[in-house]
Structure 1
Amino acid sequence: MTSDVPAHLVARTREVGDVSDLLQRLPADAPGREISAWVRGGDGLVGWGRVAGIATCGASRFCDAELWWRDTIAEAEIHDEVGVVGSGPIAFGSFAYSVDSHEESMLVVPRVVLGRRDGRCFVTTTTWSTGTAVSSADTAVVPDPQPAPQGPGVVTFADGALPGPAYETAVAEAVRRITAGDLDKVVLARDLLAEAERPIDPRFLLHRLAESYANTWVFAVDGLVGATPEMLVRLERGLVTSRILAGTIRRTGDDERDLALAASLARSSKDLEEHEYAVRSVADVIARFCTSVNTPESPFVLHLPNVMHLATDVAGRLTNGASVLSLAQALHPSAAVCGTPKPAAEAVITELEHMDRARYAGPVGWIDAHGDGEWGIALRSGAVDPDGHHMRLFAGCGIVAGSDPASELAESDAKLVPMRTALAGEERT
């Protein structure tokens, strides 16, 4: 575990005029790995610079980060003139999927955060003080809209750990074990490697993802960039909500045909079974922390530009004062990204995927000084290497007894589309 925190943080939040596009305000000269974002439908948070942070790993990664954040906030000097969820000091975070991952998990406190919520816009500047002087100016000027970021040029894609035929073989083996009664469901992921002509700018990816996938939460934390449709947990003044997605069908681009496909998805016994496992895994955990838990009896179909998902929103009222990060720890990994029973699914993932998921499918989001915040699952995402020219893209599929290997490969290809198209309009395969 490594951390950097000054004697104490000083955070000042003030309201500003309307900021219509948060992503356009990310400074062009900010280092790419110091760009943070969590935006959906124009609302959300973007940050740049890095005042403090912690990197953790292993089984204690969530607890270490939570303790660090609590200690940091306890010593902080906070001047918040806005008083909404997300104003005041916040930390963006991204956590490795597995306790065995070589990837570090992290919380990052940006120097400047620009936020928009329910029509109110605000800017938070976080600096540090030794008790005698503040390290830099205590207010930030909201940047003007920035020039469009440069794209990465020609991008070459190559297979990762499992080429298509090998992925189909892994799916077939997982189905065999499910049929034999070893487990009920497992999520198998694959990666795709990208090499770019020019450095990959996270701002370029964020803009393209936000334009094409308005119903998702577009995010960036320390080089991990994506557009997730799945909210692992939101905590806002005691209200806990979660959106579970499991069960997927690829869109055709023909509206009438897609409506028919949506209806078939809603009736599909294979997809409904997969979805039920995922909902149960989340609802059971939320019930440990909440009262008045509401779990709809049937899912709805969420329409995205490239795919459609079965979706269920679960809600409850928090009873024990847990933070959103504690809730994310308790919920991760859900059956939507792991499987069930969890120990058996994790063993199959380790054996059949042949890769480290790193921060893919782990919680990603933010937490404020009150413990409120939003954490999604890092899906439809990729990680930019420190060299800037390489990126790993990820996609995964839920495997149950009725899964067909060729169909699951096609589904994984569909889930790779958002990041592939965000990277480049010009591809070489």
Structure 2
Amino acid sequence: MTQETPATLMIRAIPGVGWLAMSAPAPTRQAARVPTLQVRTHAVADPGDLLDLIPANDSVSTWVRRGDGMVAWGEAARIDTAGATRMLDADAWFGRLREGADISDDVDLPGTGLIAFGSFSFDDDAPAGGALIVPRVVVGRRAGHAWITTIDPDGAAPLAIDGDRAPLALPTDVTYSPGAVTPQEWKAKVADAVARIRAGEAAKIVLARDVWATSSSPLDPRALVTRFSHAYPTTWAFAVDGLVGATPEMLIRRERRMVASRVLAGTIRRTGDDERDLAHAAALARSSKDLEEHEFAVESLARALAPFVESANVPEVPSVLHLPNVMHLATDVTAVLQRGADGARPSALRLAAALHPTAAVGGTPTADAVRLVGEIEGMDRGRYAGPVGWIGSEGDGEWCIALRCGALDPADPRRIRLFAGCGIVAASDPGAELDETEAKLEPMRQALLG
């Protein structure tokens, strides 16, 4: 394991806490090592905008919606996983961490105590399967309660410092270039998918495309996630291990016995005119093509969730979710967890592993559609459309599907790879589907404005 000189992590003064800093040892990257962690959570006065607290640091994790959530930095422990069991392996590792940790939690809310943030690949065969990271410092707010958690690995100690965080570094002179395929090539791939669907190989195939964005200066994930959060407050704005975005789709939320999931499938671009948008929303709600696509996704989710729950509420008719740039057909599914054969209820990460991939990001039937994605799409999605989120001490957590996002290039801090996709069915038009991906890329393009 590589040894590095400890860095210093900073946070500005938080009411009730004062200045706080931690020494950050080199990240733990050996899957077999399970360090002993000292975890301390204390209530604090409202810290204001959580995103204003994040220092300049190589390891930043954020999870914010409507101003609540968590921001974190540093690495107390980490596991990198790959393959079909990547999420289950990470979940088991976190369970061992929890068993050996010394945890004192004065707040006792989902997200307090021991916590880890993670991001995992879409594809089982992706070279970089994903990571689960336990941070050094977490500041959170939920339902009017605020807290700070410090997590000390073996031998680490807090350091007193002066100073504040570095200013946000905004993108400069951003240019764009095609990713794995050009727009015209991607339209041909959509046509290929439509032909295969009409031939009976699948009912729905979700195809994605990527675009590279390059800034003349290094990109700051803090600036990107702050812009995402402020522009799209109803989405989950996240930054985890270099993946930054604002996703509207909750794969699974677990709080004690209750779980919830949001399915989005069927999209139309907003025009900026309220009356026209209302007419478009009504048309979306009546569109047989979009309703068919949405029904596939809801049925996929319900089937995957069924083995884990006592009961579930699955609305028969979707609503229309209005976002600043697009509108989606949306269905919110809720359920009550049952205990497994071992007497325990599955963790949020265990549930995410069972639900991924859904029809919303793979297609229907899922196994056939995902195979066809691999044959047609022509790129490695990486962690795009994979689960991203957090898991807490009691197994609670939130895992979204990584949409409306970009992956920072570890080899060049000026570059970020942007992604967007859409569900292809028999009635799909390649030009319209390309337009839909452009609409879904808009949040990332706006965040990259200088």
Mapping 1:312-391, distance limit 5 Å:
312-320=331-339, 321-386=345-410, 387-391=412-416
Q: Contact 2:212 / 2:417 at 8 angstroms: preserved in 1?
A: yes
Asked if the contact 1:25/1:143 (under 8 Å) is kept, the reply is no
One of 307, 311, 324 as aligned partner of 2:330: 311
Partner of 2:212: 193
- State the shift of 1:261 in Å: 0.2
The share of aligned pairs that are identical, in percent, is: 55
> Following TM superposition, by how much is the alpha carbon of 1:119 offset from its aligned partner in structure 2, in angstroms?
0.6
SS state at 2:214 partner: strand
CA contact (8 A) 1:301 1:308 kept: yes
Equivalent position SS for 1:305? coil
Shift of 1:2: 3.6
Partner of 1:256: 275
8 Å contact kept, 2:321–2:330: yes
Counterpart of 2:220, as a letter, is: D
Q: CA contact under 8 A between 1:26 and 1:143: conserved in structure 2?
A: no
Matched residues in 1 for 2:381 and 2:54: separation?
A: 28
Is the Cα–Cα contact under 8 Å of residues 81 and 128 in structure 2 kept in the other structure?
no
The Cα offsets for residues 265-314 of structure 1, whole Å up to 9 and x where unpaired, read as 00000000000000001111222111220000100000001100000000
From 182, 186, 192, the equivalent of 1:163 is 182
Q: Distance in 2 between matches of 1:143 and 1:64?
A: 39
- Residue 246 of structure 1 is aligned with which of 265, 271, 283? 265
1:124 partner amino acid: T
Q: Which amino acid aligns with 2:158?
A: A
1:25 aligns with 2:42: no
User: What SS does the corresponding residue of 1:357 show, helix, strand or coil?
Assistant: coil
SS state of the match for residue 188, structure 2? helix
Aligned counterpart, 1:12: 40
* Match 2:83 to one of 46, 52, 58: 58
Distance 2:32 2:147 in 1: 26
Q: Return closer, same or farther for 1:142/1:405 CA change in 2, 3 Å cut-off.
A: farther
Q: What's the counterpart of residue 392 of structure 1?
A: 417
Contact 2:35 2:77 in 1 (8 A): no
- Count residues in correspondence: 416
CA–CA distance in 2 between the matches of 1:141 and 1:286? 48
Counterpart residue number, 2:134:
109
Q: Is the 8 A contact 2:34 2:93 kept in 1?
A: no
Which digits, 9 at most, give the CA deviation of each residue in 1:157-179, with x for residues without a partner? 00111211111111111111111
Aligned-residue RMSD, C-alpha: 1.6
Aligned-residue offset at 1:143: 9.2
What stretches of structure 1 move > 4 A for 4+ residues in a row? 140-144
For 1:340-374, what per-residue CA distance to the aligned partner results, in whole angstroms no more than 9, with x for missing partners? 11122112111111110000000000000111000
After superposition, residues 202-281 of structure 1 pair within 5 angstroms as: 202-281=221-300
Structure 1 residues 49 and 183 mapped into 2: Cα distance closer, same or farther (>3 Å)?
same
Q: 1:143 to 1:97 in 2, by over 3 A?
A: farther
Q: For structure 2, list consecutive stretches of 5 or more residues without a partner in the other structure.
A: 1-28, 340-344
Partners of 1:21 and 1:198 in 2: how far apart?
26
Say which of 143, 156, 179 aligns to 1:135: 156
TM-score, structure 2 normalization: 0.90
Q: Distance in 2 between matches of 1:61 and 1:355?
A: 20
- The amino acid that maps onto 1:160 is G
Equivalents in 2 of 1:114, 1:389: separation in Å? 28
